[in-house]
Amino acid sequence: MITKKTLLVCWFILYGVLSWGQDDVDVRIAVNDEVNPNTFVVIIANENYKYEQPVPFALNDGEMFRLYCEKTLGIPQKNIRFVGNATLNDMRIQLLWLEKVMKAYSGEANALVYYSGHGMPDDKEKTAYLLPVDGNSVLPSSGLSTVELYNQLGVLPSLSTIVLLDACFSGARRDGQMLASSRGVAIKAKETPVNGNMVVFSASHGDETAYQYQEKRHGLFTYFILKHLQQRGGQATLGALSDYVIQQVGRKSIVENDKSQTPTVMASKSAKNWRDWNFAEKAAKRYEIIEKEISSNQDNTLSSAPTQPVLNRNEKNEKRQEINGNSLHLFFRQITESQKRQLEIEDGVEVLDNTWGGLNESGITKGFIIQEINGNKIADINDVFFIRENEDWSLQNELIIKGLYPTGKKGKFVIGKKYTVRVYEGDNSRQSRKKAEQIGDEIKKIWPNVPVYVHFYSPRWVCRVGNFWSKKDANEMINKLEKQGYVNLHVEKK
């Protein structure tokens, strides 16, 4: 006879098997129903550098921290500014935004700044810098000094200002190698004092390296920040978080790297009760399982060069532009003065031909005049090129296109990234998980700009590739994968 106790034990065993691997920080996310409207966040994640080696997993660090801010801490999406692969101007612009917001709230809001990327020391002055992607470690002036950063943040009229820095300032890289300027010697940068109501939590101390956590695809420091927030459902004090991260990073670094990494806390004199600062007032009561993205190349850099304009030989003395990308497969031209007068409009581009792709599937036809894409006004041809160049890194997964038909009737089209390619499907075993991750890593090396997703969809591990606007785009990806020897590939609609 099967007892109630036996059934309960079987359920826990089954649950453990099916959910194995679902408890890690990128997969199992605490979702907080409490809204945190008075916290504002700037996230900078610099991975791909122009003059230096990349910072492994920095973009994944930033994207997951953004997700935790939104879901686990309950911070509204509009309160979060995330910039991947930021230039020096990008960084300063976001800090200026934060400054304006804090002044507007007059001491009734919290500021949170997160950075993942290269840090660097000034060899002469021993000053620490955050390195933007267009910076060079041999030129300290190309970076953002911690003196400038702390001075700017220290005068904010905030309830609290928390700065999290997953970077080291010794001249070392995340992989343990050295930056170009270091000449192989680690430098101990001077600690920059902090003021105002501010606390700075850094990944390492002195001449130590801030290491990566290869297995988890994060910086070691960031991983354990996310882990603590996950375990606590967001209701974590800064004191408890720092104690946990310092202990766990110290232990793991010795085991993994045979070297010390000691996160450090610097608090201003005004922040006397900083250990009691809470990230969220209440803990999340539920969790959700999300897709785990291996490819972390969503950033603010252009993913490809703009397509060059071509001459339309079928239309005399008239140039037309061609966009031949993942979504905008069309020919178009600037609207004429006659069209402006007839339709009583000032700007727009006219679709001359729409061969295939996401726009074709959405129903946009020849003659439609595009005036707006994703809230961006389309004044001329260059605006359309801008959208094309940036569509792959946009965090939005759809294009909302508005405009006019030749009759003057208004039209609106919503085009989503509806397709993906399934490359592997296993079972719920550890072997299947390893196989899915192995395939994901292989594909990432071949096509670093194509998103790769490894996730557990009960009861099996799956590896999928890409977000495609049209089925034809997805089939083109299948052709490329087949040439690399992959088989049993399927286009799937999301």
CATH code of the domain covering residue 480: 3.30.70
Average pLDDT over residues 206-227: 91
Assess whether pLDDT exceeds 80 at residue 109.
yes
Residues 340 and 462 in one domain: no
Are 273 and 403 found together in one domain?
no
Residue-level pLDDT at 6: 47
Same domain? 409 vs 280:
no
Statement: residue 362 has pLDDT above 50: yes
**The predicted structure's pLDDT at residue 197:** 94
**Coil, strand, or helix at residue 257?**
helix
Residue 108, in any domain of the structure: yes
Q: Which of 240, 257, 290 is the last residue of a domain?
A: 290
Helix (H) or strand (E) holding 146: helix 146-154
Q: Do residues 429 and 406 both lie within one domain?
A: no
pLDDT given for residue 285 in this prediction: 87
- Give the DSSP letter string of 278-338: BS-SS---EEEE-PEE-----SSS-SSPPPPPEE-TTSTT-EEEEE-SSS--EEEEEPPHH
Report whether pLDDT(243) > 70: yes
Three-state SS at 481: helix
Tell me: do 272 and 382 sit in the same domain.
no
Domain limits for position 361: 310-416
Q: Is the dihedral of CA 481, 485, 486, 491 positive or negative?
A: positive
Q: In the listed set 401, 416, 431, which residue is the last one of a domain according to the structure?
A: 416
Q: What local confidence, expressed as pLDDT, does residue 319 receive?
A: 41
* Predicted pLDDT at 372: 87
pLDDT reported for residue 94: 96
> How would you label 419-430 residue by residue, b for 16+ Cβ within 10 Å and e otherwise?
bbbbbbebebee
| Together in a domain, 454 and 410 | no
Residue 368 lies in a domain: yes
Q: What is the percent of the chain where pLDDT is above 70?
A: 76
* 11: in domain: no
Task: Kindly indicate the confidence band of residue 102, based on its pLDDT and cuts at 50, 70 and 90.
Answer: very high
Does residue 210 have a pLDDT over 50? yes
Q: How far is CA 377 from CA 370, 373, 400, 401, in A?
A: 9, 7, 12, 10
Residues 39 and 165 in one domain: yes
Long-range contacts of 407-411 (CB under 8 A, 24+ apart): 408/343, 411/364, 411/368
Task: Check residue 466 and give its pLDDT.
Answer: 87
pLDDT one-digit tens code per residue, 436-458 = 999 999 999 998 878 888 888 77
Check residue 44 and give its pLDDT: 96
* pLDDT tier, 399 (very low <50, low <70, confident <90, very high otherwise): confident
CA distance 329 to 322: 8
Q: Are residues 314 and 226 in the same domain?
A: no
pLDDT band at 21 (very low <50, low <70, confident <90, very high): very low
Predicted pLDDT of residue 406: 83
Question: What's the average model confidence in pLDDT over 329-343?
Answer: 77
Q: Does 278 score more than 90 pLDDT?
A: yes
Mean pLDDT rounded to a whole number for the chain: 80
Residues 346 and 359 occupy one common structural domain: yes
- State the average pLDDT over residues 141-168: 94
167-205: pLDDT as tens digits: 988 655 555 454 443 333 333 445 678 999 999 999 988
For the cut 70, the answer to whether the pLDDT of residue 89 exceeds it is: yes
- Which residues on adjacent β-strands are paired with residue 452? 465
Q: Is 471 helix (H, G, I), strand (E, B) or coil?
A: helix
- Residue 294 is predicted with a pLDDT of 39
For residue 465, is it within any domain?
yes
**232 domain-assigned:** yes
Same domain, 120 and 160: yes
Count the domains in the chain. 3
- pLDDT above 60 (res 57): yes
* First-to-final CA distance of the chain: 44
Torsion over CA of 418, 423, 425 and 428, rounded to 10 degrees?
Answer: -90
- Report the CATH number at residue 199: 3.40.50.1460
Domain end, chosen from 416, 440, 462, is at 416
Is the pLDDT higher at 474 or at 469? 474
65 and 81 housed in the same domain: yes
398 and 489, same domain (yes or no): no
Per-residue pLDDT at 284 exceeds 80: yes
Decide if pLDDT at 292 tops 50: no
Q: What is the pLDDT of residue 389?
A: 53
Residue 303 lies in a domain: no
Residue 486 belongs to a domain: yes
> What CA–CA distance (Å, rounded) separates 205 from 473?
48
CATH code of the domain in which 341 resides: 2.30.42.10
Reported confidence tier of residue 142, pLDDT bands at 50, 70, 90: very high
**Looking at the predicted structure, is the pLDDT value of residue 491 above 60?**
yes
Nearest Cα neighbor of 262 from 249, 275, 244, 277 is 249
**Range in 48-62, 219-233, 318-332 with the lowest mean pLDDT:** 318-332
In this structure, is residue 73 part of a structural domain? yes
